[in-house]
Amino acid sequence: RLRKLAKKRGEFLYFAGGVVRDYLLFKKGKLNPQSSKDFDIVLEGNLEKFLQELNEDLNKEILFKSQFLTYKVRFFLDGEPLEVDFITARREVYEEIAQLPKVFPSNFMDDLLRRDFTINALAIGLSAPYEGLLLDLLDGLKDLEASLVKPLHLNSFVEDPTRIFRGIRYKVRLGFDFSEEFYQALEVCYQKEALKKLSSARLANELKLYLFKEGEEILLKLLETTYQLEVFKEAGLEVARENFPLLCEVLKEVKEEFSPKEREKVYFLGMVESLSGLERLGFSEVEITRIESLLNNFRGFYHKINTLSLKEKLEWFDKVRREYLCAFAVIFPELKEEIFRYLKVYSKVRPELNGEDLKKLGFRSGKEIGEILKILRLKRLEGKVKTKEDEIEFLKKF
């Protein structure tokens, strides 16, 4: 349908970017089919009109339209949803270093030239005049075969320093190398201090993609590569490299249980050399001050931990949100086991009696009930009560 419509409208439609790269890698047996999740279809033409004309009877829903002339569309094929990103072939003009570009609808060639790496500048024609052809105008195939991440020009990272993080992701994910030109473009970027001009939101977003798009399995390699290229330093972000292995281990351990927001907090807090680094990652002053006071309290606790009873430890741990506790496990590695014992065991142990039961037993105020529940938990952890009956017995004596 899409092809027919492009033909009718005399507009050129093609696949470009990651979908072509991953398809070619898959054909060579270098990638498993699950690796490529989304795909981009580009139109050299008027995308708005094209999508309007796309048959009314084709069950579809436009989910999102961006300022960059792109549309996310959900089709329903035999009832199954399929999301496709439609993109207008475009030219990008970078007026200021590290700022978002101005975007203009343009032709196929401009659309390839605006891209980040040669391996992402390959296209496959979906309509005339290049239907079914692999279009390799910038030598992407050669670099794909040589497993090289190569920018299109040496000013590439000055225009958009987020491409450095993108390049690192491709290198690590695909097991590629950086080309000579990658290092040269990096040098030009450092000379112009472009990374320092990258906004906190965009910097944080790129680092979040390491965790949320690439995942914990390759996170350590991503962080190490970024560190070795001095990207953190050039971006004005001081990181605690010695924390990286433990940070990645901790993130793996909480992957299933923590929400993305919680994982993000552990990640950023565990990554920075000192709390002032959080500012560069977009944390508000209020939040940094709150974390600072928590951390100072925790330091006091840390020094006397060996002298504290289980009850005292629980009192401490109960006061701190679990994502901060996890970050403290990275900052104070000696405490990792203790903290994880709390998160995985202690915090999950509950008395069998609940608030309602306690009311029936004559306890009145919410505060009192809260305290009793904590005491019952402690008694369970100490092995002094094991059943509901034990709990009732204990309370009678209490």
Residues in contact with ligand ATP by the rule CB under 6 A: 17-18, 40, 115-116, 120, 160, 162-163
Question: Least CB distance from residue 369 to ligand ATP, whole Å?
Answer: 51
Nearer of residues 112 and 250 to ligand ATP, judged by Cβ: 112
Question: Least CB distance from residue 259 to ligand ATP, whole Å?
Answer: 23
Half-sphere CA count of 97, side-chain side, radius 13 A: 14
Question: Least CB distance from residue 261 to ligand ATP, whole Å?
Answer: 22
* Token pair 């001050």 in the structure block, residue: 289
Question: Least CB distance from residue 207 to ligand ATP, whole Å?
Answer: 15
Distance CA 239, CA 275 (A): 10
Nearer of residues 18 and 351 to ligand ATP, judged by Cβ: 18
Nearer of residues 174 and 271 to ligand ATP, judged by Cβ: 174
Distance CA 181, CA 138 (A): 14
Question: Least CB distance from residue 343 to ligand ATP, whole Å?
Answer: 32
* Token pair 């209020």 in the structure block, residue: 286
Question: Least CB distance from residue 211 to ligand ATP, whole Å?
Answer: 14
Question: By the 8 A CB rule, do 226 and 271 touch?
Answer: no
Nearer of residues 147 and 347 to ligand ATP, judged by Cβ: 147
Non-local (6+) Cβ contacts of 259 within 8 A are: none
Question: Least CB distance from residue 77 to ligand ATP, whole Å?
Answer: 21
Q: Which residue is nearest to ligand ATP (CB)?
A: 18
Q: Which two tokens stand for residue 231?
A: 């990207």
Nearer of residues 85 and 323 to ligand ATP, judged by Cβ: 85
Write phi, then psi, for 128 (nearest 5 degrees): -60, 145
Nearer of residues 260 and 366 to ligand ATP, judged by Cβ: 260
Q: Which two tokens stand for residue 75?
A: 């089709």
Question: Least CB distance from residue 116 to ligand ATP, whole Å?
Answer: 4
Question: By the 8 A CB rule, do 42 and 153 touch?
Answer: no
Question: Least CB distance from residue 163 to ligand ATP, whole Å?
Answer: 5
Burial class (CB in 10 A: 0-12, 13-18, 19+), 293: exposed
Nearest to 343 by CA among 243, 269, 262: 262
Non-local (6+) Cβ contacts of 111 within 8 A are: 16, 42, 44, 89, 90, 91
Question: By the 8 A CB rule, do 240 and 207 touch?
Answer: no
Question: Least CB distance from residue 25 to ligand ATP, whole Å?
Answer: 10
Burial class (CB in 10 A: 0-12, 13-18, 19+), 330: buried
Question: By the 8 A CB rule, do 154 and 181 touch?
Answer: yes
Nearer of residues 31 and 375 to ligand ATP, judged by Cβ: 31
Distance CA 231, CA 219 (A): 15
Within 316-372, strands assigned E span none
Nearer of residues 40 and 273 to ligand ATP, judged by Cβ: 40
3-state secondary structure of 288: helix
Nearer of residues 100 and 275 to ligand ATP, judged by Cβ: 100
Nearer of residues 143 and 391 to ligand ATP, judged by Cβ: 143
Question: By the 8 A CB rule, do 116 and 138 touch?
Answer: no
Nearer of residues 125 and 277 to ligand ATP, judged by Cβ: 125
Question: By the 8 A CB rule, do 167 and 151 touch?
Answer: yes
Nearest to 40 by CA among 104, 108, 88: 88
Question: Least CB distance from residue 355 to ligand ATP, whole Å?
Answer: 48
